[in-house]
Amino acid sequence: MSLTVVVTRDVEDRYRGFLSSLMLEVSAGVYLSPRLNAGVRDRVWTVMTDWHGHLNRGAILMTWAAPDEPGGIGLRVLGDAPKSLAVVDGLMLVKRSA
């Protein structure tokens, strides 16, 4: 289990209700949970992906501690250009896919 952060921008109100039932909304559109396990995180992402696929409105970013990923951070994005983390010359960078 690790700290999970979800940031939403210009999404429907149902995301707010859904995420608030599982996580603490620390600022408008910013949700966090200090102990969200991988199974719950995957189910939350599946629900948001399904909702987003129907309307394709707004953007959602989810990040969490992932020791096997570059920089130890897992990253999922809906709505914006897909992003991934990359290590270049010892620096961690966010790479946008074309």
What pLDDT score was predicted for residue 98?
64
What lies within 8 Å, CB to CB, of 44 at 6+ separation is 6, 18, 19, 22, 36, 62
Calculate helix-pair angle for 38-55, 13-20, nearest 10 degrees.
170
Q: Specify the CATH number for the domain of residue 47.
A: 3.30.70.240
Task: To the nearest 10°, report the CA torsion of 68, 93, 97, 55.
Answer: 80
What pLDDT score was predicted for residue 72?
84
Q: Identify the DSSP state of 56.
A: -
Structural domain boundaries, residue 53: 2-96
Which residues lie across from 85 on neighbouring strands? 94
Per-residue pLDDT of the chain (98 residues; tens, 9 = 90+): 789 999 999 999 999 999 999 999 999 999 999 999 999 999 999 999 999 888 778 899 999 998 888 778 888 989 876 777 777 887 778 887 76
Domain count, the chain: 1
Note the pTM of the prediction, 2 decimals.
0.83
